[in-house]
Structure 1
Amino acid sequence: MIVSRDGLIALAGLGSAAVLAAGFSFQYLGGLAPCELCLWQRWPHAGAVLLMVGALLLGGRMLPLAGLVTMIGSAGLGAYHTGVERHWWAGPDSCTAGAGLSGLSGADLLNPALATPVVLCDEVVWQMFGLSMASYNFLISLALAVLWAAALASGRADRWGWNG
């Protein structure tokens, strides 16, 4: 069975919506506060959901390409975050173990109004089968990139009359 271009776009966009729902569920239902890199990884998925809506409503031919690029970027962020968690390379100074309190005064440290949980990007707070959420984002984003690529190829095949 061959899935239509719109079907592929819907699968890709709904996949990103599921990733966002999982992230918010871990945060608000599971009590796992996201780190800075986790938050960065949500943006491409939000963009992909908007691209899905735009592609299905407007039928733009370039929107699947934008979805593909967005998911490749998301996979890159997931791979980068995985490397930070596994200490293969350094992460942003603002959210790794090297992130210090040097910018805060003693009064700031004792002010409960400024107390926010520090979530470090280089610590794995949840994993399953040895893979962290960042690793799963990498793998899922690659799979969603394949769907966007298939939608892009399907649109080109239709345009050139290759689909009979």
Structure 2
Amino acid sequence: MKETGLNQQMVALLVLLGMVAVILTVLGFEHIGGYTPCKLCLGQREPYYAAIPVAVLALVAGFFKWPACVIRGLLAIAGILMVYAMLLGVQHAGIEWGWWEGTGDCGGGGTVSDAGNLLDSLGTVKPPSCDEAAGRFLGLSFAGWNVIVSLVLAVIAFKGAFGNAERSSGKA
């Protein structure tokens, strides 16, 4: 059985910080930037919401020197969840680029500021479409960036789950 060392603890921390940064960023774009997420955008967050507690447990497991299989297993689970987030991003980006059809029920939650006017607003609030990117940065939509970030986080998590216990010091 492989040992668990400083490398796994650092990986757990790095993956946790990366996932929290992603969620804080998308929530910032939503609540501060005014970008209303569509159904697929919201779905891409779910693996992060599941993986963050897993990464916290991996960090706790490393801190308290739990058995190696525990922290490595938790890192592997976090990696699998990030692969799932990546696949959801690929699906959404493909829909945005017109590579394949989206779901027929795709729309987001348009916001209504006055509950008293809820019925009146039903005809005027247009939910965002899943096949139109809200914006692009360096040629990629939010879904496209999610593919890249999720892939990076998955690789880091898997490296921690299946890599060496200690960092190499560079000495032979």
Q: TM-score, normalised by structure 1?
A: 0.80
Deviating 4+ runs (over 4 angstroms): none
Verify: 1:91 aligned to 2:102, yes or no.
Answer: yes
Verify: 1:72 aligned to 2:83, yes or no.
Answer: yes
The aligned counterpart of 1:107 is none
Match of 2:37 among 34, 38, 53: 34
Number of equivalences: 144
Alignment of 1:102-121 (within 5 A): 111-112=119-120, 114=122, 116-121=125-130
Q: Tell whether the 8 Å contact from 1:17 to 1:46 is kept in structure 2 after alignment.
A: no
Report the aligned-residue RMSD. 2.2
Report the residue type matching 1:21 in the other structure: L
Q: Tell whether the 8 Å contact from 1:84 to 1:122 is kept in structure 2 after alignment.
A: yes
Cα offset, 1:113, TM superposition = 5.2
Matches of 2:86 and 2:8, distance apart in 1: 22
For residues 52-111 of structure 1, give each alpha carbon's deviation from its aligned partner in whole angstroms, at most 9, with x where no partner exists: 111112342311110111011011001110000001001111117xxxxxxxxxxxxx93
Matches of 1:112 and 1:55, distance apart in 2: 49
Matches of 1:48 and 1:23, distance apart in 2: 16
Can you give the 5+ residue segments of structure 2 that lack an aligned partner in the other structure? 1-5, 63-69, 108-117
The aligned counterpart of 1:43 is 46
Report the residue type matching 1:131 in the other structure: L
Report the residue type matching 1:84 in the other structure: I
The aligned counterpart of 1:130 is 139
Match of 1:150 among 153, 156, 159: 159
